[in-house]
C-alpha cells in the first residue's frame, strides 16, 4: 500500500500504484446502445417487415425504404418546465407498388414523436426524468443440462431462440433421448429427425455411429421407443403433439413444421443465439437471416453432444455463468417495443389494403403511426425497467444508470428466484460489482456494473486484462467475456513485478477457470488491468475497502447514494483516487470540450469560443428540484476572458468540489479499542 499526496489542500489518497487503465465513460453503454438503435435497430425492424403485401398478394405491396429523426421540438429545460416529453419526430420514406399496373408511389411520411435520450443518458417523460435500467437475462442459444439419478448424470439440452418455439432435449433413464417442442408432450428425438427429413433408421444410426459407442446405445434405445417409420408418420405425430384435437393431414403437418422452425418471421435464433450456438458447437455458420432459423446440422450436433456428455459424464453448462447471461440495454428494449407496435400496424395496413381502391390509394392513407407510438410510450410509462431516476445526489443518478436488473419482461421474479441465481459467481470478477446490491428482497437480482467493465456487441460483459508475453507483463490491454476466460491463467495486481515487467516470485496467486490457485509465474497468460476492477463505482469510493467487512462496505455503498447535497461541499480528506473520475461522469460537473476562451460568464450561462472556430453556450441550473425532492444548484467556476483547456471545469453543481465528488463532511473519529478485542466502535468528535 503506498500513499500519494495529489493536492495542495492536504488531501491524501491511499491506493496501490500501477493502474494501467483509465476509468472509462461510466454512462457510455447507455449512449452507445441508443445510438445503435437509431442507426441500425430501426432499420432491422423495417427490413424484417418488408414487403407488406395485401391478403391476396396480387394487388398492392408496401415497402419501407429509409427513415430519419429530425431535431427534438423542445429543449430539455422546456420539457421539464411544461411537464412535457422530450421527443423527436420520425419521418419514414415508404414506397407503394400497384402490382396490377406496375405504378409506384413514394412518399415521406411523418411517423410520430418518440422519446429522445438526453446528453445525460436519461429520458424526460411528462416532465420527469427517467432511466432505462439494463436487463441481465439468460442468453439465447443452446445450453446443456444434467439431471442425476442413482449416481449417474443424464444430459439434455435447451435451444432458446430469440423468437419462436423452444426445443428441450432430455435423456430418459432407459437411454432414450426425447424432445419437447414448446413445452408440449415429449416425442422421441428420432421422430423429430424423421419429420425434418431423415427418415431411415440406417441413416439416423450412421449420423451418430462414431459417438454412440458407450455402454448404453442411446440411438437404438430411442428407435425402440419410436412408433414411426416414415417422414409422413413422423409429421403426423409431431402435429398431434402440437395441435391435439385438430384434424391431422400430412400436408397440414408439413406446413406447420415449416412455419414453426423454418419461417424467419416466426423463428429466429437472433444474432446472439446464432453466435452462442456457433461458439458452443464449434461451428462457423454465417450470422445472417438465412442461417438464423433452425438448421438440420444444429439439431444433429446437439444430439451428438448429448450422447458424448452421457458417455463422458463431464460437468454440464453453468446457467448462472456470465458466459450464458447477457445484458439487454436501452436500445434493444425499445427496439422490441417498436417491433410490437409495427406488427400491430401491419395488421391495420392489411385491413386498409383490402378496402382501398388500388388506383387511388397512397402510402400516407395506409400508414397510421398511432399503434407504434402507443407501444413505445407504454414501455416508458409502465415497464418495470423504466424507472424514475434516483436523484438524492449526482452519484445516485450515475449509479442508477449503471444498474442491472434480472427482473422485468422475460426475466425472473422475486418469488421464483432461488439462492443460486442471487449468489455471486466467479465470472462476476471484473464484470459485476461483488459488493453492491440491495439489502431487501431484490438482493442478488439487482446488480451494478464493475468500474472497468464494458458490454460487447452481443450484450456480454467483458473485463480488461493485461497480456503476458514471454513471461513479461505488457501494457497491452484486452477485453474478454466469460466464455473466452476459460483457458486463461490470470494473476491479480498484487503479484510483484521487477522494472522490466517480469514476475519477481516463482509462484503467484492466480485464477484458473474462475478458481483461485497458486501457479508457477511462467504459466500466467494475463494480469488484472486494474486493482479496483473487481469493484463497482460505489465500492471503489470507500477508502481501505479491502480491510473492511463486506457487509459494512455494502452499507457504505447504499449510504453514499442517500447523502443529501450540502450547501457547502467538502471533498474527502482521505480518498481512493477515483473521486475526480466519478465526478466527471455525473450530470453536475460540466467541463470544456477543447481549448478555448471564455466569452461570457455570469449566473445564467457561460459561452466559450473554442479554438476550432465554434462557440458553445452552457446553461447554469439554479435551485432545481429533483425526483427525490432534493435541490440542485450549480455555480460558475470561470471568469470572462479566461483561457480554458480541454477538460477544465466550467460549472460545478451539487455534491462536487474542486472537480471531485464530495458527498459528505470530513469527521474526526476517535477509535476505542478495549484490550484489543472490540470492533465497530468509535466516537465521532463533532
For the chain, give the percent of residues with pLDDT over 90: 66
Cis, peptide link before residue 480, omega less than 30° from 0 = no
- Sign of the Cα torsion 378, 382, 388, 389 reads negative
Alpha-carbon span 561 to 315, nearest angstrom = 41
Task: Assess contact for 453 and 463: CB atoms under 8 A.
Answer: yes
Whether residue 114 has pLDDT greater than 90 = yes
- Strands 454-455 and 643-644: what pairing? unpaired
Cell numbers for 634, please give them: 450549480
Whether residue 660 has pLDDT greater than 70 = yes
For the residues 420-432, what does the mean pLDDT come to? 93
- Sign of the Cα torsion 22, 27, 30, 31 reads negative
Whether residue 18 has pLDDT greater than 60 = no
- Count the neighbouring beta carbons within 10 Å of the beta carbon of residue 58: 11
Q: How confident is the model at residue 384 (pLDDT cuts 50, 70, 90)?
A: very high
HSE-CB for 592 with a 13 A CA cutoff: 26
For the chain, give the percent of residues with pLDDT over 70: 95
Cell numbers for 435, please give them: 459488493
Cell numbers for 513, please give them: 477457470
For the residues 14-29, what does the mean pLDDT come to? 76
pLDDT for position 6 = 45
Q: Where in the chain is the domain with CATH 3.90.1100.10?
A: 28-137+331-388
Task: Assess contact for 664 and 612: CB atoms under 8 A.
Answer: no
pLDDT for position 683 = 65
pLDDT for position 547 = 84
Of residues 682 and 654, more confidence is placed in 654
Q: DSSP alpha helices (H): ranges in 493-586?
A: 550-560, 579-584
Of residues 14 and 512, more confidence is placed in 512
CATH no. of 28-137+331-388:
3.90.1100.10
Q: How confident is the model at residue 682 (pLDDT cuts 50, 70, 90)?
A: low
For the residues 253-278, what does the mean pLDDT come to? 92
For the residues 320-326, what does the mean pLDDT come to? 93
Whether residue 676 has pLDDT greater than 80 = no
Whether residue 14 has pLDDT greater than 80 = no
Whether residue 90 has pLDDT greater than 70 = yes
- Sign of the Cα torsion 578, 662, 610, 118 reads positive
Of residues 52 and 684, more confidence is placed in 52
Q: How confident is the model at residue 1 (pLDDT cuts 50, 70, 90)?
A: very low
**Per-residue exposure over 246-281, b if at least 16 CB sit within 10 Å of its own CB, e if not:** eebeeeebbebbeebbeeeeebbbbbbbbbbbbbbb
pLDDT for position 11 = 63
Q: Where in the chain is the domain with CATH 3.90.1110.10?
A: 141-323
pLDDT for position 668 = 81
pLDDT for position 684 = 66
pLDDT for position 138 = 93
Task: Assess contact for 452 and 533: CB atoms under 8 A.
Answer: yes
Closest CA to 161 of 259, 241, 264, 285: 264
Alpha-carbon span 285 to 257, nearest angstrom = 22
Record: fold of 141-323: 3.90.1110
pLDDT for position 3 = 41
The 10s digit of each residue's pLDDT in 537-591 is 999 999 888 888 888 899 999 999 999 999 888 989 888 889 988 999 998 899 9
For the residues 373-379, what does the mean pLDDT come to? 95
For the residues 350-368, what does the mean pLDDT come to? 89
Whether residue 4 has pLDDT greater than 70 = no
The 10s digit of each residue's pLDDT in 184-232 is 889 999 999 999 988 888 889 898 988 888 888 999 999 999 888 899 9
Alpha-carbon span 627 to 433, nearest angstrom = 26
The 10s digit of each residue's pLDDT in 596-634 is 999 999 989 999 999 998 999 999 999 988 988 888 899
- Sign of the Cα torsion 281, 283, 285, 286 reads positive
For the residues 306-314, what does the mean pLDDT come to? 92
The 10s digit of each residue's pLDDT in 139-185 is 999 999 999 988 899 999 999 999 999 999 999 999 999 999 988 88
The 10s digit of each residue's pLDDT in 282-303 is 999 999 888 999 999 999 999 9
Amino acid at each position: 500500500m503506498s500513499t500519494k499526496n495529489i493536492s495542495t489542500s492536504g488531501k491524501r489518497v491511499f491506493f496501490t500504484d500501477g493502474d494501467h487503465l483509465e476509468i472509462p465513460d461510466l454512462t457510455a453503454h447507455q449512449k452507445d446502445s441508443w445510438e445503435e438503435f437509431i442507426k441500425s435497430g430501426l432499420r432491422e425492424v423495417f427490413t424484417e417487415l418488408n414487403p407488406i403485401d395485401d391478403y391476396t398478394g396480387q394487388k398492392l405491396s408496401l415497402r419501407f425504404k429509409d427513415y430519419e429523426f429530425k431535431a427534438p421540438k423542445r429543449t430539455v429545460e422546456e420539457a421539464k418546465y411544461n411537464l412535457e416529453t422530450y421527443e423527436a419526430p420520425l419521418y419514414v420514406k415508404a414506397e407503394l407498388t400497384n402490382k396490377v399496373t406496375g405504378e409506384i408511389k413514394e412518399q415521406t411520411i411523418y411517423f410520430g414523436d418518440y422519446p429522445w435520450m438526453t446528453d445525460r443518458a436519461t429520458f424526460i417523460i411528462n416532465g420527469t426524468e427517467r432511466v432505462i435500467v439494463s436487463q441481465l437475462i439468460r442468453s439465447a442459444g443452446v445450453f446443456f443440462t444434467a439431471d442425476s439419478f442413482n449416481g449417474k448424470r443424464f444430459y439434455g439440452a435447451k435451444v432458446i431462440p430469440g423468437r419462436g418455439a423452444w426445443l428441450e432435449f432430455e435423456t430418459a433413464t432407459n437411454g432414450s433421448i426425447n424432445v419437447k417442442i414448446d413445452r408440449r408432450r415429449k416425442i422421441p428425438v428420432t421422430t423429430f429427425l424423421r419429420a425434418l427429413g431423415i427418415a431411415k433408421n440406417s441413416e439416423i444410426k450412421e449420423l451418430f455411429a462414431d459417438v454412440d459407442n458407450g455402454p448404453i446405445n442411446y440411438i437404438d434405445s430411442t428407435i425402440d421407443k419410436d412408433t414411426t417409420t416414415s417422414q409422413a408418420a413422423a409429421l403426423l405425430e409431431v402435429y398431434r403433439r402440437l395441435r391435439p384435437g385438430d384434424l391431422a393431414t400430412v400436408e397440414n403437418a408439413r406446413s406447420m413444421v415449416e412455419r414453426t422452425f423454418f419461417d424467419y418471421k416466426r423463428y429466429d435464433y437472433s444474432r446472439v443465439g446464432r453466435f452462442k450456438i456457433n461458439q458452443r458447437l464449434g461451428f462457423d455458420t454465417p450470422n445472417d437471416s438465412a442461417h438464423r432459423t433452425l438448421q438440420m446440422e444444429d439439431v444433429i450436433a446437439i444430439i451428438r453432444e448429448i450422447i458424448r456428455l452421457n458417455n463422458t459424464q463431464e460437468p454440464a453448462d453453468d446457467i448462472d455463468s456470465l458466459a450464458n447471461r447477457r445484458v439487454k440495454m436501452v436500445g434493444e428494449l425499445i427496439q422490441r417495443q417498436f417491433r410490437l407496435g409495427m406488427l400491430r400496424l401491419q395488421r391495420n395496413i392489411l385491413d386498409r389494403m383490402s378496402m382501398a381502391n388500388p388506383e387511388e390509394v397512397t402510402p400516407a392513407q395506409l400508414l397510421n403511426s398511432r399503434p407504434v407510438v402507443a407501444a413505445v410510450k407504454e414501455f416508458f410509462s409502465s415497464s418495470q425497467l423504466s424507472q424514475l431516476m434516483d436523484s438524492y445526489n449526482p452519484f445516485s443518478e450515475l449509479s442508477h444508470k449503471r444498474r442491472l436488473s434480472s427482473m422485468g419482461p422475460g426475466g425472473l421474479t422475486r418469488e421464483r428466484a432461488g439462492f443460486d441465481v442471487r449468489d455471486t459467481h466467479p465470472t462476476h470478477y471484473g464484470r459485476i460489482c461483488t459488493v453492491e446490491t440491495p439489502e431487501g428482497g431484490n438482493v442478488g437480482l439487482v446488480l451494478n456494473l464493475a468500474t472497468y467493465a464494458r458490454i460487447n456487441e452481443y450484450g456480454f460483459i467483458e473485463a480488461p486484462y493485461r497480456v503476458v508475453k514471454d513471461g513479461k507483463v505488457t501494457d497491452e490491454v484486452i477485453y474478454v467475456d466469460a466464455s473466452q476466460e476459460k483457458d486463461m491463467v490470470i494473476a491479480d495486481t498484487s503479484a510483484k513485478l521487477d522494472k522490466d515487467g517480469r514476475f519477481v516470485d516463482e509462484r503467484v496467486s492466480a485464477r484458473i477457470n474462475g478458481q483461485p490457485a497458486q501457479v508457477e509465474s511462467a504459466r500466467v497468460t494475463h494480469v488484472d488491468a486494474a486493482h479496483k476492477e473487481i469493484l463497482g463505482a460505489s465500492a471503489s469510493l470507500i477508502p481501505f475497502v479491502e480491510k473492511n467487512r463486506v457487509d459494512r462496505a455494502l452499507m457504505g455503498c447504499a449510504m453514499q447514494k442517500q447523502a443529501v447535497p450540502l450547501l457547502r461541499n467538502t471533498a474527502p480528506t482521505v480518498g481512493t483516487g477515483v473521486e475526480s473520475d466519478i465526478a466527471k461522469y455525473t450530470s453536475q460537473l460540466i467541463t470544456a470540450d477543447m481549448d478555448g476562451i471564455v466569452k461570457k460568464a455570469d449566473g445564467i450561462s457561460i459561452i466559450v469560443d473554442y479554438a476550432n472556430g465554434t462557440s458553445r453556450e452552457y446553461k447554469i441550473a439554479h435551485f432545481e428540484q429533483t425526483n427525490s425532492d432534493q435541490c440542485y444548484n450549480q455555480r460558475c467556476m470561470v471568469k470572462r476572458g479566461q483561457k480554458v483547456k480541454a477538460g477544465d471545469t466550467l460549472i460545478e453543481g451539487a455534491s462536487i468540489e474542486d472537480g471531485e465528488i464530495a458527498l459528505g463532511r470530513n469527521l474526526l473519529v476517535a477509535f476505542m479499542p478495549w484490550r484489543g478485542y472490540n470492533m465497530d466502535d468509535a466516537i465521532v468528535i463533532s
